[in-house]
Chains A and B, each alone.
Chain A
Amino acid sequence: MTARRLETGGRIDRSRELTVKFDGKSLPAHPGDTLASALLAGGQQMVGRSFKYHRPRGVVAAGVEEPNALVHLRSGDRHEPNAQATMVEAFDGLTSTPQNVWPSLQFDVGAVNGLLSRFLGAGFYYKTFIGPFSGTKYWMFCERFIRRAAGMGRAPTLPDPDHYEKINAFCDVLIVGAGPAGISAALAAGRKGDNVFLVEQDRDLGGSLLSEPLGAPSDAWLAQARAELDGLPNVRVLTRTTAFGAYDCEVFGLLERVQDHVLAPEEGKPRQRYWVVRAKRAVLATGAIERPMVFAGNDVPGVMLTSAVRSYLNRYAVLAGERIVISTNNDSAYPAAIEFAKAGARVTICDLRAEAPTQFVDSAKKAGIDLRPGHAVLKVSGGKGVKAAHVVRIGPGGKIKGNATRIACDLVTGSGGWAPALHLWSQRFGKPQFNEELDAFLPPAEKGTFSCVGSLIGSPSLRDTLSQGHEAGGAVGKEPALFGHADHWGRNLVPLTVIAKVNGRTPGKAFVDFQHDVKLADIDQAHLEGYISVEHLKRYTTSGMAADQGKTSNLNALARMAELRGLPIPSVGTTTFRPPYTPVTIGAVVGHDHGLNFRPTRLTTIHGWHQDNGAVMIETGAWLRPWYYPAKREDINDAYIREAAHVREHVGIVDVSTLGKIAVQGPDAAEFLNRIYVNGFKTLPIGRLRYGIMLREDGFVFDDGATTRLGDHDYFMTTTTANAANVLARAEYLLQTAWRNLNVHVTSVSDQWCAIAIAGPKSRALLTALTGAELSNEALPNNHFANVTIAGVSCRLHRMSFSGELAYELYIPAKRGRQIWEALMAAGEPFNLKPYGLEAMGALRIEKGHITGSEIEGRTTLKDLGLEGFASSKKPFIGSVLRKRPVLEDPARPSLVGLEIVGDTSTRAGSLLYALSAPTKGHGEGWVSSVTYSPALKKNIAMALLSRGPERHGETIQVVDFVGGQSWLAKVVSHHFFDPEGKRQNG
């Protein structure tokens, strides 16, 4: 092909030259070019190799429908695969390389596949590589090579250096597409005062008008319209923005390419912006995409869409060929052909129709065009570029007559009619209607809050397009006057795009889907094998499944299947389009929600102190909590054992602010608590607190915690950290739906209160010294609370124990958390106070036999956990009926026990339990839920659920960790290892 840049014309800025490279070669480019136009202007006809057969491929289109010209763009950490050259704006410093080639674009080893193509047809993989042997090894061996050969671009391996942002927006009307229809709609809606979004994927407004010759009447109209839109503050124009998805309730996803047209984003600017727009209504003016013709060799570089060649000529001043043969089935090729001829090309039009359209005949002839009505291109010859078109006479119904004539040429274009870009409409509403006259699927002009206008609904003329837009926009102000005479629709079309020999075959490979290398013969074979529904066809041949989502192939594949089945196209069906319309950058949708901002991190108000004092933190859900406070050279085991032992000997404090806290208030609060806890709460006096357990409605244990009665109608509930939100939501559900006669308010106060547990034999002395309050066992017995003042801050001191020690929980207004923690640390010095972390807290609670999330794991009952004694028999409670289902009453269920491990190594949580003499196979008789070394007992201990556990105290069992290849012997004991009488906590 001898494409070249013309001396004049085009919407490019010739005053500036850009450095643009492809495969190491410099291309002449100006601002306003795309990479594709620069490639053509630079004579780079071949731009890549095809997916399966590695055939040479060139630019086919000028827009989002481009199937072939996919490249690696930029380099280093901005490397990007599968960039569509037609959508990449030329910028200074642009580097691009071909993909799917080895060792080079010109000489590619994979091209050998082309020679084997007859064996690589539809369904090839399904029929072979099964292998003579059983198992899947043979396939997996072959798969390695197939995977390497497949794929397209190379993925980046470095983190993305660019920023992205997300914007939430609202509007009255979202207009998608800023061609004449969309602009006309935006003007009317804007004048009406609507809050308007006008979205255009191109960098400029105009749509098809940008492919009109420079200086055409449309230029003046566009400039005027743009000026009016700019003057309307209620109209927001978003260019370089694709509306990629239409979702329920008129929500749209948009991708704005803010800084993709430069080498690297400017400081402070995002590369792309993801918009979520909630519109009251939508006007779709998304236009139509030209259908290629299907003939032998229609994928040779230099075979293009007629409309694309016209865009390259008028918009970019690139004449894509000198000697052009056009194959058309409708009128739209004629104005284009005349322009090609005027630009200096020799043009032949093969019109599949018997007559050339009268209104164009004269001007075409005047332009020197060779008109061949009743002709079609049967075949293109050439390898890495078009050499000739083989043209035949064609009768009604597409039957070819006689022998082909060879016309030497360098460019062949196809005009197979137009396929409306109805993707957004289809995403939302499903199947469109088929219009036989236009041989296309069309959406209706109105559906729900959607209006469709222009070429999208097959508007017959610019006049209609402008009025449709005007009406859809709200018909305010003067309807745009007609300018020019551009037709946006292929009129007088004969529904024929496949040119084959009389036997139905093409003299060479004819492609339906370029990107996935699906040949006409593959469609035929799929038909032969019964893959005849449109979805089977698509999946079996992979037609329409490539990155272009079949924008140029769907209709041709469907038409062929319809022809083979002898059915009209709508009886064969169409596929439903799925978002996104064009591929969307993952990073853009992620926005700022990555790295540490992937999810919010919750910190207690004491967090700073933990950090300052060397705590190793651990994630627990959204929270960061102190895991342990290592002294010099301590590992986690040294640290937690020291911390736990210290608590039992002296006194320790731990930050328990993450507990859920709920204020339960109102005259019926006691009744409410009585229903949601298994144990009774009606008799709880003011000033006391009680441990309570909740079940799910299906009878399994849900959560536990303590609830304190602060006043007549005022209770303070704590929940586990993990279930804080769930307990509150559940309480609200019950109170607002079934129990709305109960006068109770529940309010989360988790964030209002900081909580510190103070545990150890010296805790009373420390707190007495600090608060000056009377805290004797008589004044403040276990499970009571007192109001105290520390450093001028009013706090509530709950006497309760999770560690089994004499212990308290101090509830502090959240903002004062660190201040009080520090006051405690200061006052605690004489008592040898030390902080302890989650790991030591775990060790202490295991010694004491208290359960946590490891045991309340969603499948355990009160009985399983040895807590049945808590269940009141005097009242119903949530879960009280279903917890008695027969399987849950089975005495053989695994139930909670303690294990003392024989030997001096610790077992592992998640190990399985087997009877001493039983083979270690199968699910076992239970499992280990929690393990620790017990500094108090100087033993490795564990909590476990063991079948008939409580009956088996004293038995020795096997504990097996298959994963680590280890097993232990353990003695089954009560899980109340330490101070089972509770002397310490009650003393």
Chain B
Amino acid sequence: MLRIPCPVCGLRDETEFSYGADATVRLPDMNEADPKVWHDYVFIRDNPRGPHKEYWHHVSGCRQWIVVHRDTLTHEIFGSALAREVAA
């Protein structure tokens, strides 16, 4: 079980969170009309074996979306930040 540091609530069990997606993927601008851009956003992932920035939602806590920096091979967690405070 992962123990995830929530910037608001502190270190909490994985079960309080729900996993979102790769946090390096950016929602296109709403006026973006190129289907390729939207396709890549919705479907395509780097899926790295190693360090990964990813969204988690503290659903059973403060309900903040956070960006967790975690290694997908070792599950080591390097840190986290509120999604709203991470540079776009």
Contact = CB atoms under 8 A, between A and B. Distances in A.
A and B, direct touch (CB closer than 8 Å): yes
Interface of A: 247-251, 276, 278, 675, 697-698, 725, 729, 732-734, 736-740, 876-877, 881-882, 884-885
B49 interface: no
B27 A882 contact: no
A280 B47 CA distance: 30
Nearest to B18: A729
A247 B75 CA distance: 10
A305 B80 CA distance: 52
A249 B77 contact: yes
B38 A697 contact: yes
B9 to A, nearest CB: 15
B35 A736 contact: no
A882 B1 contact: no
A247 B38 contact: no
Contacts of A877: 30
A736 B83 contact: yes
A732 B65 contact: yes
B46 interface: no
Given A737-B83, A881-B33, A251 B27 contact: no
Contacts of A733: 20, 55, 57, 65
Contacts of A675: 30
Given A729-B57, A733-B20, A736-B83, A881 B35 contact: yes
A15 B87 CA distance: 74
Interface in B60-87: 63-65, 75, 77, 82-84
A278 B3 contact: yes
Nearest to B85: A740
Contacts of B26: 738
Interface of B: 1-3, 13, 18, 20, 23, 26-27, 30-35, 38-39, 41-43, 55, 57, 59, 63-65, 75, 77, 82-84, 88
Contact of B2 (A248, A276, A885): A248
A697 B42 contact: yes
Nearest to A278: B3
B42 A882 contact: yes
A75 B34 CA distance: 69
A876 B18 CA distance: 28
B1 A885 contact: no
Nearest to A886: B35
A248 B57 contact: no
B84 A740 contact: yes
6 contacts: A249-B2, A278-B13, A733-B65, A740-B88, A876-B30, A881-B33
B30 A698 contact: no
Contacts of B31: 876
Contacts of B2: 248-249
A249 to B, nearest CB: 4
Contacts of A881: 32-35, 38
Given A733-B20, A736-B84, 16 more contacts: A248-B3, A250-B3, A278-B3, A278-B13, A697-B38, A732-B57, A733-B65, A736-B64, A737-B23, A737-B55, A737-B83, A738-B27, A740-B84, A876-B32, A876-B33, A882-B35
B35 to A, nearest CB: 5
Nearest to B26: A738
Contact of A885 (B35, B65, B77): B35
B55 A248 contact: no
A675 B23 CA distance: 21
A734 B27 CA distance: 9
A736 B88 CA distance: 11
CB-CB nearest 10 A-B residue pairs: A738-B27, A249-B3, A736-B65, A876-B30, A248-B75, A251-B1, A881-B38, A736-B84, A736-B83, A740-B84
A698 B3 CA distance: 32
A373 B39 CA distance: 76
Contact of B63 (A732, A734, A740): A732
Contacts of A249: 1-3, 75, 77
A740 B64 CA distance: 12
Nearest to A251: B1
A751 to B, nearest CB: 14
A885 B36 CA distance: 10
B39 A737 contact: no
Contacts of B18: 729
B34 to A, nearest CB: 8
Contacts of B13: 278
Contacts of B43: 698
Nearest to B1: A251
A737 B65 contact: yes
A737 B55 CA distance: 9
A577 B38 CA distance: 44
A740 B85 CA distance: 9
Nearest to B86: A737
A729 B64 CA distance: 10
Contacts of A738: 26-27, 88
Contacts of A739: 27
Contacts of B84: 736-737, 740
Contacts of B38: 697, 881-882
B1 A247 contact: yes
Contacts of A885: 35
A884 B57 contact: no
A168 B13 CA distance: 11
A876 B37 CA distance: 14
B3 A729 contact: no
Contacts of A278: 3, 13
A739 B32 CA distance: 15
Contacts of B27: 734, 737-739
A251 B82 CA distance: 25
Contacts of A725: 59
Nearest to A735: B84
Nearest to A248: B75
Contacts of B82: 736
A698 B55 contact: no
A733 B21 CA distance: 11
Nearest to B31: A876
A914 to B, nearest CB: 34
Nearest to A696: B42
Contacts of B42: 697-698, 882
A733 B55 CA distance: 9
A640 to B, nearest CB: 36
Nearest to A876: B30
A697 B30 CA distance: 11
Nearest to A740: B84
A740 B75 CA distance: 29
B3 A251 contact: yes
A739 B28 CA distance: 11
Given A732-B57, A734-B27, A738-B27, A882 B64 contact: no
